[in-house]
Amino acid sequence: MDLFDHSELKDKHAPLAVRMRPESLEQYVGQEHILGEGKLLRRAITEDLLRSIILYGPPGVGKTTLAYVISQTTKGVFVDVSATTTGVAELKKLMTQARERRAYYGQRTILFVDEIQRLNKGQQDVLLPAVELGDLILIGATTENPYFEVNAALLSRSQIYELKPLTDQDLHSVANLALISPRGLGEIACEVTPEALQHFVQVANGDARVLLNTLEFAVLTTVPNNEGVREVDLAVAEEAAQAQRVRYDKSGDQHYDVISAFIKSLRGSDPDAALYWYARMVYANEDPRFIVRRLLVHAAEDVGMADPNALLMAQAAAFSLEWLGMPEARIPIAQAIIYIATAPKSNSVITAVDHALQVVETTRAEPVPQHLRDSHYPGAAKLGHGLGYHYPHDYPHHYVVQDYLPENVQDRKFYQPSDQGREKIIKERLEYFENLKKR
């Protein structure tokens, strides 16, 4: 199917999402942040002054649809290709045609590349000169973060627009229009209850394509009643859309965004949010080892000495995962999440170790002081190793004042305990030792 073939909109066998594709910006639903009245992109499209753009966003939010609208409004020649089936030779041919079209007829060429992230570096490099010289206007569509996937040189010559998941209000508008439009389901006698429609919207999760295809499936597979009306209630809707789609690409930025939200919820002491993001990852089949590894890091980095047991809880979760596997291990992992989220927080450990590493990198590595050197091997005593060392357990409180650092860094303080949790006790103990040194 050619996505930009106008005749497809009239094909009753085409999917509902294709038949309902808008032909103008007035019919386009959503993305008000970039296409609302007065927005630059809207003016560029309506006045046919578009420059190269990359449309970035999850599936079903209107990237291809927007490109279709542009194809219907531009006076230029619109060409669409798929990154998965187009080779370098074909791209070079398109570039030559665009250059000749501009030189001989003064006509612009607009090239739409679906899934532009799938173009390899060589293919992207072919496009670069034509985009830079203005021989063609590029519209790229991608579900992946273009800053990760698209050639930097191509990015610098394009405007990036992020399309967001459609709101529930947007999806209700799309569904209601499909139910009454002759292009949609308007010629079919059907009734969809508000509860069923809300379920379709909820399950679609911001994806208009999922909404329309599920709605169409429910209507077409429902047996008409005695009056010839297809009644779609909540039970039918639940059967037609059995599982909610969760947008989560384990190799893309959704992967990093969700784990970032998870860690920030733990750090922010919000167990409910942490459990929610954990559930999102579990539902999307994220590798549970990845989740547990992040728990281990967070327990040391953001809880640390305020509650050392947090690290033990994370370790227990990792142990449970190896011995139990999923789904049973979801319970001890959740326990560790709740414990870590509600534990007192301190980042003194990471601050201390990073400071120590920075000092080691930037200062001279002085020899180990004589009294701290190993004195157990033969001949060590003759070299003076260990001479003058005081054994702390021989003194009150198992502490004795002596230097443990080389002379050039003796004034450095790496570990600065906070006043949180158990670390408050550690701070008081270290302050006591410091006062002994001063006396």
Mean residue pLDDT of the chain comes to: 85
User: What confidence tier does 337 reach under pLDDT thresholds 50, 70, 90?
Assistant: very high
Same domain, 333 and 290: yes
Same domain, 335 and 408: no
For the segment 219-271, what is each residue's pLDDT rounded down to a tens digit? 988 888 888 889 999 888 888 876 555 555 555 556 678 888 999 999 999 99
Give the side-chain half-sphere CA count within 13 A for 154: 27
pLDDT value at 55 more than 80: yes
For the segment 81-93, what is each residue's pLDDT rounded down to a tens digit? 888 777 888 888 8
Give the integer Cα–Cα distance in Å for 431 and 96.
76
Cβ–Cβ contacts within 10 Å for residue 408, how many? Answer: 12
For the segment 111-170, what is each residue's pLDDT rounded down to a tens digit? 888 888 888 888 888 888 888 888 888 888 888 888 877 888 888 888 899 998 889 999
Q: Helix or strand or coil: residue 17?
A: helix
More confident residue, 376 or 356: 356
The residue out of 140, 162, 184 marking a domain boundary is 162
The percent of residues above 90 in pLDDT, for the chain, comes to: 23
Give the integer Cα–Cα distance in Å for 342 and 345.
9
The pLDDT assigned to 243 comes to 52
Q: What is the CATH number of the domain that holds 71?
A: 3.40.50.300
Enclosing domain of residue 118 = 31-162
Whether 239 maps to a domain, the answer reads no
DSSP character string of 247-311: ---TTSHHHHHHHHHHHHHHHTT-HHHHHHHHHHHHHTT--HHHHHHHHHHHIIIIIGGG-THHH
User: What confidence tier does 6 reach under pLDDT thresholds 50, 70, 90?
Assistant: low
State how many domains the chain has: 3
pLDDT value at 8 more than 80: no
The pLDDT assigned to 58 comes to 83
Give the integer Cα–Cα distance in Å for 237 and 232.
7
Same domain, 338 and 369: no
The percent of residues above 70 in pLDDT, for the chain, comes to: 94
For the segment 92-102, what is each residue's pLDDT rounded down to a tens digit? 888 888 888 88
User: What confidence tier does 367 reach under pLDDT thresholds 50, 70, 90?
Assistant: confident
The residue out of 113, 147, 162 marking a domain boundary is 162
The pLDDT assigned to 1 comes to 38
Whether 385 maps to a domain, the answer reads yes
Average pLDDT over residues 378-405: 83
